[in-house]
């Protein structure tokens, strides 16, 4: 059985993951409107992954006999200065989500909730990947000094499966 504070914290994280999905969808729309369909594809897949993260926590709360409480999802920002600006924001956002996961692990430890701490280890590992994949795009975009280079990166991002 989940303690109510842990349940509330997990419900907040469900909202944070769904908000992440919204952020990536907004970024996908921005890239698609700029004709960068590979980046839009990458971001749409990321948006789907975020829903998957939310659903993983959703199911965990249910499995532990808790109550899922859904809350309003904040409206994401809708415009950026450039593709680099988009992916720098994505990287910063993932660092923020990592800090949220770390906070949940700390909560689980405070409540001596070993099952939740164990459950959260998947997210700890996932955040390492999430930060690295956003950083990889930022690194490439920083090297792209012209439109042709940008299109090569866009093509590479279209191959994300
Ligand atoms: Fe669910 Fe990208 O963190």
Q: Is the pTM of this model over 0.85?
A: yes
- Measured in residues, the chain has a length of 161
Residue 50 Cβ inside 6 Å of ligand 1? The answer reads yes
Q: Could you tell me which of 91, 24, 27, 21 has the C-alpha nearest to residue 57?
A: 21
CA distance 74 to 92: 17
Residue 110 alpha carbon to ligand 1 centre in Å = 23
Residue 19 Cβ inside 6 Å of ligand 1? The answer reads no
Within 10 angstroms of residue 8's Cβ, the number of other Cβ atoms is 15
Residues 35-49 pLDDT 10s: 999 999 999 999 999
Residue 131 Cβ inside 6 Å of ligand 1? The answer reads no
Structural contact between residues 83 and 34, judged by C-beta atoms closer than 8 angstroms:
yes
Residues 84-121 pLDDT 10s: 999 999 999 999 999 999 999 999 999 999 999 999 99
Q: Report the run of H or E that residue 155 belongs to, with start and end.
A: helix 147-158
Provide φ and ψ at 20, rounded to 5°. Answer: -60, -45
Residue 17 Cβ inside 6 Å of ligand 1? The answer reads yes
Instruction: Say whether pLDDT at 76 is over 90.
Output: yes
Residues 4-34 pLDDT 10s: 999 999 999 999 999 999 999 999 999 999 9
Structural contact between residues 83 and 151, judged by C-beta atoms closer than 8 angstroms:
no
CA distance 96 to 99: 5
Residue 148 alpha carbon to ligand 1 centre in Å = 30
Residue 23 Cβ inside 6 Å of ligand 1? The answer reads no
């Amino acid at each position: 059985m989940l303690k109510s504070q842990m349940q509330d914290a997990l419900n907040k994280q469900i909202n944070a993951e769904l908000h992440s999905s919204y952020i990536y969808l907004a970024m996908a729309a921005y890239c698609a409107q700029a004709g960068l369909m590979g980046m839009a594809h990458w971001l749409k897949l990321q948006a789907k992954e975020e829903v998957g993260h939310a659903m993983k926590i959703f199911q965990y709360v249910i499995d532990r006999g808790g109550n899922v409480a859904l809350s309003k999802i904040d409206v994401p920002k809708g415009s950026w200065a450039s593709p680099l600006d988009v992916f720098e924001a994505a990287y910063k956002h993932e660092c923020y989500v990592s800090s949220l996961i770390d906070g949940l692990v700390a909560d689980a430890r405070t409540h001596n909730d070993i099952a939740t701490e164990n459950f959260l280890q998947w997210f700890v590992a996932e955040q390492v990947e999430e930060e690295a994949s956003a950083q990889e795009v930022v690194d490439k975009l920083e090297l792209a000094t012209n439109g042709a280079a940008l299109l090569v990166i866009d093509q590479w991002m279209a191959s994300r499966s």
